[in-house]
Structure 1
């Protein structure tokens, strides 16, 4: 399951999508909008899928992960739109027979997400300043 959505993400539903009878574990990463970034209080964060390429980039990350580890399943769900402090912006779920590859694969997936930054990320701070980053700028 690879998904770009503008709706709130349910980690439980994402995990349910990856579980199989042969899975010994389901490892998850849940990314949250934090209160402070770059030393400034955050008002909100906005993610945009400029050009509509984000889902393909997430598919590429999932393919890389599948090539490196023997997994039962992988899901990456990323939320776009304006998110407030505490909102979930990404859920990565990995199901595997053993925890070692599950944890390693999940760590790799979020690291690649941060490197690729498949969406534009615009942080708006309480002082009115903004910071924009991402591959689609």
Structure 2
């Protein structure tokens, strides 16, 4: 799932631009939109059953009519929302706001900002630059992408792995071992090695950077193979190589 962040000053035209961008993105895949409401509170209609269920403590309260479904969720965390959207099969997520999160972004208007990919672009220019925006995946999303991009006729096994690489030091204290900015290149190198292994049909590796999502760095591996043994062998090599790279980077 690609995250396309839109930022700008109030009344700069962000919403109008997003309204034009969404139809262009829909030609490429499914689209979701998330808006940061800052200090404003989203008002749900008081007295309605869905609101009462939410007030009573439900994790989700959903109202469905013959045209749409409306969900109230009790977790106002961007990462959790993105995980749910990715698991639902969303391919592009347009985010308005969240200026403090360092996504590659589009600026509408004259706002000064870091991580700027485009400023006042047309929707067509955004489509031409989609590869420059941040990817976000869950394990379910990784497996879906793997199946979508490789033939399944010869597939006999899909093997997955996700984890945070740690080590135990003095007094059994767990320390998190961090990659530097080269992590994406390393993970891509490991993926290419896995795909070069005989019997491997395809591999999809992804590293989620904790700095972006106020959490821990986590790596997802998914390997599609003709046989289970080939998948295990390729996965073991990739994990061992990852551990070695992380250890070297932290010592």
Task: Please give the range of the TM-score, normalised by the shorter of the 2 chains.
Answer: 0.5 to 0.7
Structure 2 Cα separation of the partners of residues 46 and 13 of structure 1: 25
Q: Deviations over 1:29-77 (max 9, x none)?
A: 111477x9431266xx474533xx2222222222222223321110111
Structure 1 portions without partners, runs of 5+: 118-132
User: Whose strand proportion is higher, 1 or 2?
Assistant: 1
Structure 2 Cα separation of the partners of residues 49 and 6 of structure 1: 18
Of structures 1 and 2, the one with the larger relative CO (CA 8 A, separation 6+) is 1
Equivalent positions of 1:17-96 (< 5 A) are 17-19=145-147, 20-22=151-153, 23-32=155-164, 37-38=168-169, 39-40=172-173, 45=176, 47=178, 49-50=180-181, 53-80=182-209, 81=211, 82-83=214-215, 89-96=218-225
How many pairs were matched up? 109
Instruction: Check whether the contact 2:142–2:220 (CA below 8 A) recurs between aligned residues.
Output: yes
Instruction: Check whether the contact 2:161–2:222 (CA below 8 A) recurs between aligned residues.
Output: yes
Structure 2 Cα separation of the partners of residues 96 and 102 of structure 1: 5
Structure 2 portions without partners, runs of 5+: 1-133
Of 214, 229, 233 in structure 2, the residue corresponding to residue 104 of structure 1 is: 233
Instruction: Check whether the contact 2:190–2:238 (CA below 8 A) recurs between aligned residues.
Output: yes
* Pairing 1:11–2:139 present: yes
Match of 1:135 in 2: 249
3-state DSSP class of the match of 2:249? coil
TM superposition score normalised by structure 1: 0.63
User: Whose helix proportion is higher, 1 or 2?
Assistant: 2
Pick the structure with greater CA Rg.
Answer: 2
How far off its partner does 1:28 sit? 0.5
How far off its partner does 1:98 sit? 0.8
Structure 1 Cα separation of the partners of residues 205 and 233 of structure 2: 15
Structure 1 Cα separation of the partners of residues 226 and 152 of structure 2: 10
3-state DSSP class of the match of 1:76? strand
Structure 1 Cα separation of the partners of residues 202 and 208 of structure 2: 20
RMSD of aligned C-alpha atoms? Answer: 3.0
Structure 2 Cα separation of the partners of residues 64 and 6 of structure 1: 21
